[in-house]
Structure 1
C-alpha cells in the first residue's frame, strides 16, 4: 500500500511530540514536513520544540516551517502549559535541526499546488490552531484541490472543553480560522475531546516509551514531568494523548467509529470557540465533517507504543497491550 503523504500542522506541545514521533515511526506515513503555528506556547518555542523532536529521530530531511505567530482575529491565548515554553535540554536533548527559511503558509501552498498538479493530493494532520491552513486557503483558494483531507484534532461536544468550560483549546485559540477551514469544502475528519478522552495513558505506558531510544526517552520525560491525570473528570487514572489519534486514524482507521455531520464553530461572544455538531439533522445543512465518536482504547494505545518503540533498537517490537508490527 502506498504511504499516506502528509503534512503535520502543529503547535508542539507534548501531545504534538507524540504525534510527530508516531508519524516518523510509521512506514505507512510519508511525512513531507511540519507546518508550525503558535498555540500551546508562542511561535518561537513551538518551532524550537518541533526542531528538537525531529532531531531526536535523525530525520533532518523533514523540514520544519515557522508559520503564524497569532490568531486571525481574536486576542492571543496560550495552552495550559504555556509557562513551559521551549522544551529544556534535560527533557528533550538539543539537536542540529534548524527551521526552513520558507514560511509555513508558503510551504502549504507550494506543496498542495504541486500535489494537485500531480493529481496526488496530500493529507494535512492538523493538531494545533488552524491559522496556517486558513491563511493558505484564504490567500490561495486553489490549494484546496491539493488537499485530500484534513484530519483535525479539535472541538468538543458532550465532553465540553478543557481550556474553558465550553471550548477545546485548538478551536478556542483561533475559531475564525477553524470556521474558514471547516467551510472550505475540503474533507474534514474531526477528533474531538469526546473521543480523545476515551483512551487514557498511565505511568506504565509512559515508561514503555523508553523502548524507543532517545526519542522514546524524551517522550517519557515529557509525559512524566507534566501531570495529565484528572480522576474527577475521567473517573480513572491516566490521561489522554489527544493529537496522536490523527496519525492512528490514518494508519488503522478500523480502530475508530464516526459519522458524517455538519459542524459549526462559534466565533464571537462568551462561547467563542464552542463547536456544535448536528448529529440529528436539525439544521438541514450538508455534512462538512466526519466526526469520530469512538476509539478502541487498547488498540490505539498499543499502536502508539509500537510506533514509538520503532525509534529504538527493539526489532519487530511487541509491547504489552500492543499491536505487533
Structure 2
C-alpha cells in the first residue's frame, strides 16, 4: 500500500480525485492539504472536509495551506465559471462538523516525509505553493520523498488559461519553477494527457442510476463542470479528468508513457507567464513528463472506483 498525501484546491475535478483515491485500496491517505487556486484556500478547505464526509472518510485529516502565490500578487480570477460559485458545482449546503488541523500544510508534508523517508508520494493537483513552502522548510525532502505527482503544465500542447499556460502552473509560476528545478523525483501529468481522458454525460446518468447520496452528489456537481467544458472546450463531448488522472498515475504509473525532460517555467514574460517548456538536457532532466495515456484503461479503472 502506497502512503500518499493529496494536495488540492478543491474544485470539482479535485473532488473526483478525492473520491477516486478514497476508494482505492492501493493508497493509504495520510492526509489532505489545501491551497488556493480554483477558489480560496478557505473554500478549498471547507469543500475538502465536506467531500470527505460524503465519502465517509472522516478519519482523514485536512491541513490548510497557502492562500496566495509564493512571491507575487494573485491576479488570476478564481475559476468559478468552471467550478461554480462554491467550487463544487453549487452543491455546497452546510459545513462539515469537523475542522482542519492546526498544523500548516507545508509542515504536515515535511513531517510525513521525515517520518517515512522514501515511502511518501505527494499528489499535487493545485498550484505548487504548498510544495515549494515544504521544500523551503526542509530542503532534504527532495531526496527523501518517494515521488511527487503533479497535475500541471502543458509541454507539447496549448494551455487552458492562456495560449501557453495551464491553470495550476499559471496560478503560481514561481512556486512551479522552484519545485520543478528542485531535483525532487517528479511525474508531470499535464494537459498533454489529461485532455485525452473525457467523462461524458452517459457516465453521469449511470451515477444517478446508482441513486446513492454520494453518486447523486458527484453527478450533480460534475454536471456543472461538464456544462462549462462543453461550452468552452469540448463542444459537447464531455469534461477532462485532469486531477483524477494524477491519482491514477500514483496508483499505476504504467497508464501513462513518460519522457524525461528538464522543465523551464516562464516567470518573467507576461505574455507567456506559466509556460512549461521541456528540454532534453540529460544532465538535468529529471521530470518524467506524461505524453501519452491509455485513456480507455484509465477511464475504466476510474469508473470502477468512483462511486
CA distance in 2, matches of 1:58, 1:204: 26
TM-score, normalization by structure 2: 0.91
The answer as to whether partners of 1:11 and 1:128 remain within 8 angstroms in 2 is yes
Q: 2:204 aligns with which of 194, 203, 206?
A: 206
Quote the residue 2:274 is aligned against.
273
Q: Check whether the contact 1:54–1:62 (CA below 8 A) recurs between aligned residues.
A: yes
Contact persistence 1:196–1:240 (CA under 8 A): yes
When the two structures are superposed, what TM-score results if normalisation uses the length of structure 1? 0.86
Distance of 1:171 and 1:213 partners within structure 2: 36
Contact conserved, 1:9 with 1:37, CA < 8 A, in 2?
A: yes
What displacement does 1:243 show? Answer: 0.4
Alignment match, 1:321 = none
**Alpha-carbon contact 2:69-2:129 (below 8 Å) kept:** yes
Report the secondary structure of 1:111's partner residue: helix
Match of 1:256 in 2: 256
Range 94-103 or range 204-213, more displaced: 204-213
User: Are the structure 2 counterparts of residues 304 and 113 from structure 1 closer, same or farther at C-alpha, using a change threshold of 3 Å?
Assistant: same
Distance in 2 (alpha carbons) for counterparts of 1:40 and 1:48: 13
Q: Residue 191 of structure 1 corresponds to which residue in structure 2? A: 189
8 Å contact 2:35–2:64 — kept in the other structure? Answer: yes
In the alignment, what sits opposite 1:244? 244
Q: Alpha carbons of 1:231 and 1:43: their partners in 2 closer, same or farther (altered >3 Å)?
A: closer
SS at 2:116 equivalent = helix
The RMSD of aligned alpha carbons is: 2.1
Query: Given that residues 249 and 256 in structure 1 are in contact (C-alpha distance below 8 angstroms), is that contact kept between their aligned partners in structure 2?
Result: yes
Task: Say how many residue pairs are matched.
Answer: 301
Preserved CA contact (<8 Å) 1:156 1:167: yes
Alpha carbons 1:54, 1:97 under 8 Å: kept? no
Equivalences for residues 279-318 of structure 1 within 5 A: 281=280, 283=281, 285-309=283-307
Q: CA distance change for structure 1 residues 92 and 4 in 2, over 3 Å: closer, same or farther? A: farther
Equivalent in the alignment of 1:170: 168
Q: Which residue of 2 aligns with 1:223?
A: 222
Uncovered stretches (5+) of structure 2, i.e. residues with no partner: none
Cα displacement (A) at 1:292: 0.6
The equivalent of 1:141 in structure 2 is 139
Which 5+ residue runs of structure 1 have no aligned equivalent? 310-325
SS of the residue 2:133 aligns to = helix
Q: Is the 8 A contact 2:256 2:292 kept in 1?
A: yes
Q: Note the C-alpha offset of 1:252.
A: 2.8
For 1:114 and 1:163, locate their aligned partners in 2 and report how far apart those are by CA, in whole Å: 38
Partner in structure 1 of residue 71 of structure 2: 73
Instruction: Give the Å deviation of 1:85.
Output: 3.0
Contact 2:20–2:305 (Cα < 8 Å) also in 1: yes
Match of 1:156 in 2: 154
Q: Residue by residue, what CA displacement relative to the aligned partner does 1:36-74 show, whole Å, maximum 9, x if unpaired?
A: 001100111111111111111221110010010000112
SS of match in other structure, 2:303: helix
Task: Give the 3 Å change call, closer, same or farther, for CA 93–295 of structure 1 in structure 2.
Answer: farther
Cα distance in 1 for residues equivalent to 2:207 and 2:91: 17
Q: Which residue of 1 aligns with 2:105?
A: 104
Give 1:181 deviation, angstroms. 0.8
Moved more, 104-113 or 219-228: 219-228
State the secondary structure of the residue aligned to 1:229: helix
Q: Secondary structure at the match of 2:149?
A: strand
Distance 1:218 1:94, change over 3 A: farther
